[in-house]
Structure formats: structure tokens, C-alpha cells
């Protein structure tokens, strides 16, 4: 039986020298790999108190929506600024070169709800730290963040104010 690691392609020196890029497109394009990834992440969510699944744009949608469906939970997207059509709140966060901003609909999550955030990768943690802030500003609580991959050398989980679960951890960056 294959493990998730068997489906992940590693590309040395991309996008720059010294980086070992972990490519999940090879997981997505294989039916068994995709099922294993979603089932593995779903198993990590099942133990959490959860009323709502939040997915971060864009790969958080790929994993978050089917997990929400399988668990009978609503799915809420956190999107890049300007992509949501209704009233939103936004949160800026630092990138390696500049800043980015994400948004959530103001009526997407109710005060007191328990939220699990899903994304494909935790690296520096900036996007998910911003998503946690958005959820908290709506009066809800993030009970867990779940990722397919973690790049441990970037210490992203240290930035998050919630428990973190991952399917696969890689040392380094």
C-alpha cells in the first residue's frame, strides 16, 4: 500500500537553488493518491471540535470542500482580496517580498462556532495565521489547522494559535 510520500514529487532547486520543492500535483492527478490525501486529512479533522471547515485559497479548497462534504459540515472559503462578492473583512500578512491580503464574508461564520482550517501546506504560516485572525474577528474559535504537508525548517506551526496536524512532515525547506 502506498503512502502519501510515494505520490509527492520532489523537484530539487526549484524555484531557486537550495529549495526542495514538494509538488502535490502528482497526488491530485492520481485517483488513489487524491483519495488517500483526503481520507488522511479527514481522519485528522474527525477528532476536533468542528462546526465549520475553512479552506484557504486555493489549494485549501481542493482538500477542504470534500472533507466538509464527507463530514456533513459547511465549507467557508478564505480568498484573496477582491474575490468575494459580499461584505468582507480582510487581514494583511507579510510575504517574503511584500504583503498579501485575504478576506472572508462577514456572515460566513457565526460567533461561538468551532472552526478547522484546511490547507495543502504549512511553510512560514503567514496565510493561516491571517486566516485564524479573520475567524477570531468573527467571534469563532479555530480548534485545529490541518495540512497535507509541513516544511518543518520554516517553523510555520509556531506562528499559529491553535493545534496543528499534518499528514507528512519534511525536514528543511
> Known catalytic residue: 79?
no
Residues in the chain: 173
Angle at the Cα of 135 (from 101 to 147), degrees rounded to 5?
80
Which residue is catalytic, options 59, 136, 141, 159? 59
Which residue is catalytic, options 16, 17, 87, 96? 96
- φ/ψ bin of 103: left (φ > 0), alpha (ψ from -120 to 50), beta (otherwise): beta
Q: Grid coordinates representing 135?
A: 475567524
Burial class (CB in 10 A: 0-12, 13-18, 19+), 14: exposed
> Known catalytic residue: 96?
yes
Residues identified as active-site: 59, 96
Amino acid at each position: 500500500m502506498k503512502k502519501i510520500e510515494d505520490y509527492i514529487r520532489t523537484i530539487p532547486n526549484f524555484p531557486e537553488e537550495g529549495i526542495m520543492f514538494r509538488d502535490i500535483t502528482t497526488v491530485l492527478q492520481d485517483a488513489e493518491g487524491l483519495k488517500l490525501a483526503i481520507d488522511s486529512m479527514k481522519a485528522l479533522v474527525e477528532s476536533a471540535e468542528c462546526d465549520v471547515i475553512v479552506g484557504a485559497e486555493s489549494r485549501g479548497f481542493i482538500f477542504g470542500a470534500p472533507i466538509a462534504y464527507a463530514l456533513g459540515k459547511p465549507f467557508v472559503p478564505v480568498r484573496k482580496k477582491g474575490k468575494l462578492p459580499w461584505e468582507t473583512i480582510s487581514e494583511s500578512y507579510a510575504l517574503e517580498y511584500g504583503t498579501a491580503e485575504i478576506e472572508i464574508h462577514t456572515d460566513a461564520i457565526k460567533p461561538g462556532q468551532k472552526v478547522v482550517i484546511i490547507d495543502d501546506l504549512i511553510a512560514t504560516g503567514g496565510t493561516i495565521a491571517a486566516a485564524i485572525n479573520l475567524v477570531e474577528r468573527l467571534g469563532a474559535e479555530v480548534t485545529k489547522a490541518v495540512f497535507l504537508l509541513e516544511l518543518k525548517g520554516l517553523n510555520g506551526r509556531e506562528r499559529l494559535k491553535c493545534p496543528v496536524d499534518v499528514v507528512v512532515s519534511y525536514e528543511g525547506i
